[in-house]
Amino acid sequence: MPDFIRLLPDSVANQIAAGEVIQRPASAVKELMENAIDAGSTNIRLIIKDAGRTLIQVVDNGSGMSETDARMSFERHATSKIRDANDLFSIRTLGFRGEALASVAAVAQVELKTRKQGDEIGTCINIEGSRVKSQEEVSCAIGTSILVKNLFFNVPARRNFLKSDTVEFRQILEEFQRVSLVHPDIEFSLHHNDKPVFQLTKVGLKQRIVHVFGNQINEKLLPVEMKTEQVTIYGFIGKPETARKTRGEQYFFANGRFIRHPYLHHAVEQAFEELIPEAAYPTYFLFIEVDPSSIDVNIHPTKTEVNFQHGQLMYGSLRSAVKHALGMFSLSPTLDFETEQSFDFNIPKGYEPKPPTITLNPDYNPFNRPSKPASLSRPGDGIKANRDQWEKMYDVVNASTTGIQPFVEHSIFSQVENKIENDKIEIIPEETISTSRLIQVQNRYIAVNVKSGLMLVDQQKAHERILYERIGAMLGSEASAPQRSLFPHTIKLSAIDAEILREINEDLLTLGFDINELGGGSFVINSLPADLPIDKVSDLIDSLLEDFKNNRTELGSERKAKVARLLAHNIAVKVGKLLQNEEMQAIIDELFSCQVPDIAPDGSRILRILTSAEIEKLLR
Ligand code: ADP
Ligand code: MG
């Protein structure tokens, strides 16, 4: 019988191995930057073209390599960083697997130029798909320059798998930011398509964070510091009031390495929660230093997942370090924390709640309402056709009380009805107190008298649904939304946020936003959708960016739905807002003109009917 097993050629083996280490341009960026750091560089330049598809170049002023080392560096499992398995427990460098350069060279065209201090002349090596094309002497600066061209040129499947340039570049930015945060003492620069994105000078950690994420983060940071026998924790957390709005920036570094660690993340959240309710999304930049022997970075090829030997201890230390930082902060009376807090309980001194009163307007005629209150009106509203039918409905039912016409099944309701356990919804006008036909309960629900009982509608969810469908329709159409120009309002964004904003700017334009980039992460907002209150702009942009950052949605339609949902959420009247009668009326009318009147954009229920039978039972 013939034998079938044969060894794969090196080039194929390397390509397979490369798949684990180099998944996308950002992975190559990470490996090359880490090598530059391991080489003791004090200045590292990253040059990118077409989000890394055509070119990734890292130029450093580190140790450089000898001619032999230069050649060796591309061999698989070639590393200068460990010698034997014991060294695995004392790793102080970022690399140690000796796989990165071999992997990059397996899937790209690579040019390496390097010179050691003291050497007269440097070495230049060209490699393409693991094959050395040339090696020669070259005069070059001390340090190393690695040029990676046409990544995945020989792995079409990988190449096709790459996402849009925006997405790929965003990942590169992430890697760049992570690396640069750990090393504020190193100068970094980043150029994309010949434009400078970052020029980071040598500074302290706080300054580095500010340079990377923009000035606005400066006042938001609280220092964290703690040292025990097993662990040193330092860094910054965002002040609690900034934590409320968005998830913010969350970075853990263990021994100089960016890590993902849900368990430790939980420790931080816990610390926040214990002191400030609702602060669910803390910002943090936390650095953990432990004995290298107590941490296992070996478990994942890209080394972002690590194991701590004393996980629980780490959890406890981290939580108390953060709590301590927050505690110090809240004890200090001069800081704005206290005043910010009291905003949440905005009740004047000596206030005594009064029972609600009902004011009757004897002239009020529910069937003579203005066609639409101003706050909700919008020219070119395409969905309102059904609305009139709901109004007719009133008339019909109204008639029924005079005995002329019983309940008439209506198309708008038939949808709701199917979903609401076959309840028959019908308005029974209360002619005696017409103004209270719609009652607002707890500044939160609208109670509507329907034939089968009492319908409770969540005002915020209802309004979100209405706006969601309206915005959705607008995003799907060519017509652009009415805008309201305002005094240009400038916002400053981190590089990543800026990328995201560029990505969604077109959709925002359709919705009535007019946002222009000023450069350097600054954007100017010239106009807003007519419905959006000016004071909501920053929050809205924040939550949009936040959402996109955390779930990288790409499909156009998904993205549109998300923009619509977030926008609706931000514009909608909130729980707690006292509504005028006409406003309630408009909400109810428009809700039942919606395609899905009973489910909020987030999937929760908008309304329920308490049937007469249920009410009766309640009061038995
Ligand atoms: P690892 O970093 O895991 O050792 P790499 O494949 O990334 O493996 O690099 C292989 C070796 O090449 C390194 O151990 C190092 O000796 C050398 N090397 C790579 N990049 C540089 C650089 N920028 N400067 C100096 N030496 C480098
Ligand atoms: Mg390496």
Name the residue of 31, 101, 114, 145 to mutate for ligand 1: max ligand atoms within 8 A of Cβ: 101
**CA distances for 270 relative to 183, 313, 315, angstroms:** 28, 15, 10
Give the predicted TM-score (pTM) of the model: 0.61
- Calculate the average pLDDT of the chain: 76
Domain boundary among 202, 229, 245: 202
CA of 292 to the centre of ligand 1 (A): 20
Which has the higher per-residue pLDDT, 352 or 544?
544
Q: Whose CA is nearest to atom 21 of ligand 1?
A: 35
197 in the same domain as 210: no
Q: Of the bound ligands, which one is closest to the alpha carbon of residue 100?
A: 1
- The one-letter code for the residue type at 247 is R
Ligand 1 touching residue 96 (CB < 6 A):
yes
235 in the same domain as 94: no
**Residues 116-152 pLDDT 10s:** 999 999 999 999 999 999 999 999 999 999 999 999 9
Return the structure tokens found at 305.
């997942």
- Concatenate the DSSP letters of all residues of 397-445 into one string: HHHHHTTS------HHHHHHHHHTTTPPP-B---STTGGGGEEEETTTE
Residues 6+ apart with CB under 8 A from 374: none
List the one residue out of 300, 281, 350, 222 whose CA is nearest residue 30: 300
Q: Where are the beta strands (DSSP E) in 186-245?
A: 187-192, 195-200, 221-227, 231-238
Q: Of the bound ligands, which one is closest to the alpha carbon of residue 81?
A: 1
233 in the same domain as 194: no
What is the rounded distance in angstroms from the CA atom of residue 35 to the CA atom of residue 61? 11
Tally of structural domains, the chain: 3
Residue 199 clears pLDDT 60, i.e. is over it: yes
List the one residue out of 605, 539, 526, 612 whose CA is nearest residue 570: 539
**What pLDDT is attached to residue 575?**
87
Which has the higher per-residue pLDDT, 205 or 405?
205
Ligand 1 touching residue 80 (CB < 6 A):
yes
Residue 167 clears pLDDT 80, i.e. is over it: yes
Ligand 1 touching residue 366 (CB < 6 A):
no
178 in the same domain as 255: no
Q: Would you say how long the chain is, in residues?
A: 620
What is the rounded distance in angstroms from the CA atom of residue 382 to the CA atom of residue 385? 7
* Closest ligand 1 atom to Cα of 58: 23
**CA distances for 500 relative to 153, 497, 544, 547, 559, angstroms:** 28, 5, 9, 10, 12
Its domain, for residue 538, covers: 404-620
Ligand 1 touching residue 14 (CB < 6 A):
no
450 inside domain: yes
Q: Whose CA is nearest to atom 17 of ligand 1?
A: 73
**What pLDDT is attached to residue 124?**
97
Q: Of the bound ligands, which one is closest to the alpha carbon of residue 69?
A: 1
111 inside domain: yes
* Closest ligand 1 atom to Cα of 143: 24
Ligand 1 touching residue 504 (CB < 6 A):
no
**What pLDDT is attached to residue 312?**
85
What is the rounded distance in angstroms from the CA atom of residue 385 to the CA atom of residue 395? 17
* Closest ligand 1 atom to Cα of 82: 4
371 inside domain: no
What is the rounded distance in angstroms from the CA atom of residue 4 to the CA atom of residue 506? 56
**Residues 333-372 pLDDT 10s:** 333 332 332 222 233 344 434 433 333 343 433 333 333 3
Confidence category of residue 279, pLDDT binned at 50, 70, 90: low
CA of 300 to the centre of ligand 2 (A): 14
Ligand 1 touching residue 78 (CB < 6 A):
yes
Domain boundary among 152, 182, 202: 202
Confidence category of residue 469, pLDDT binned at 50, 70, 90: confident
**Residues 29-79 pLDDT 10s:** 999 999 999 999 999 999 999 999 999 999 999 999 999 999 999 987 777
**CA distances for 14 relative to 103, 129, 266, 292, 489, angstroms:** 6, 9, 38, 29, 52
First to last CA, the chain: 87
CA of 115 to the centre of ligand 2 (A): 18
**What pLDDT is attached to residue 480?**
60
53 in the same domain as 150: yes
158 in the same domain as 224: no
Q: Which range is least confidently modeled, 125-134, 444-453, 458-467?
A: 444-453
Residues 6+ apart with CB under 8 A from 456: 441, 445, 446, 447, 448, 607, 608, 609, 610
43 in the same domain as 121: yes
501 in the same domain as 468: yes
Ligand 1 touching residue 100 (CB < 6 A):
yes
268 inside domain: yes
Name the residue of 21, 42, 59, 73 to mutate for ligand 1: max ligand atoms within 8 A of Cβ: 73
CA of 170 to the centre of ligand 1 (A): 25
What is the rounded distance in angstroms from the CA atom of residue 609 to the CA atom of residue 423? 8
From the CB of residue 296, how many other CB atoms can be counted at a distance below 10 Å?
A: 16
List the one residue out of 140, 157, 170, 183 whose CA is nearest residue 44: 183
Domain boundary among 155, 186, 202: 202
CA of 198 to the centre of ligand 1 (A): 25
8 A C-beta contact, residue 296 and residue 307: yes
**What pLDDT is attached to residue 560?**
74
Q: Which range is least confidently modeled, 87-96, 456-465, 550-559, 565-574?
A: 550-559
573 in the same domain as 488: yes
226 in the same domain as 184: no
By percentage, how much of the chain surpasses pLDDT 90?
32
* Closest ligand 1 atom to Cα of 62: 24
CA of 74 to the centre of ligand 1 (A): 9
Q: Which range is least confidently modeled, 82-96, 168-182, 575-589?
A: 82-96
Q: Whose CA is nearest to atom 12 of ligand 1?
A: 73
363 inside domain: no
What is the rounded distance in angstroms from the CA atom of residue 399 to the CA atom of residue 393? 10
Cα 163 from chain centroid (whole Å): 18
Average pLDDT over residues 183-208: 95
Average pLDDT over residues 482-490: 71
313 inside domain: yes
Q: Of the bound ligands, which one is closest to the alpha carbon of residue 99?
A: 1
Confidence category of residue 80, pLDDT binned at 50, 70, 90: confident
196 in the same domain as 218: no
**What pLDDT is attached to residue 395?**
32
**Residues 234-256 pLDDT 10s:** 999 988 776 655 566 899 999 98
348 inside domain: no
273 inside domain: yes
CA of 169 to the centre of ligand 1 (A): 24
Name the residue of 27, 63, 79, 302 to mutate for ligand 1: max ligand atoms within 8 A of Cβ: 79
**What pLDDT is attached to residue 333?**
38
Q: CATH number for the domain including 237?
A: 3.30.230.10
**CA distances for 312 relative to 90, 159, 266, 619, angstroms:** 22, 42, 12, 52
Q: Whose CA is nearest to atom 23 of ligand 1?
A: 36
CA of 213 to the centre of ligand 1 (A): 30
Ligand 1 touching residue 491 (CB < 6 A):
no
Residues 6+ apart with CB under 8 A from 231: 288, 289, 290, 313, 314, 317
CA of 91 to the centre of ligand 1 (A): 14
* Closest ligand 1 atom to Cα of 36: 23
- Concatenate the DSSP letters of all residues of 529-560 into one string: ETTS-GGGHHHHHHHHHHHHHHS---SHHHHH
List the one residue out of 584, 581, 474 whose CA is nearest residue 531: 474
269 in the same domain as 195: no
CA of 80 to the centre of ligand 1 (A): 7
Ligand 1 touching residue 410 (CB < 6 A):
no
CA of 197 to the centre of ligand 1 (A): 26
CA of 551 to the centre of ligand 2 (A): 29
8 A C-beta contact, residue 521 and residue 213: no
CA of 186 to the centre of ligand 2 (A): 18
Q: CATH number for the domain including 48?
A: 3.30.565.10
By percentage, how much of the chain surpasses pLDDT 70?
73
Return the structure tokens found at 299.
């478990």
* Closest ligand 1 atom to Cα of 78: 10
Q: What is the 3-state secondary structure (H, E, C) of 576-615?
A: CCCCCHHHHHHHHHHHCCCCCCCECCCCCECEEEEEHHHH
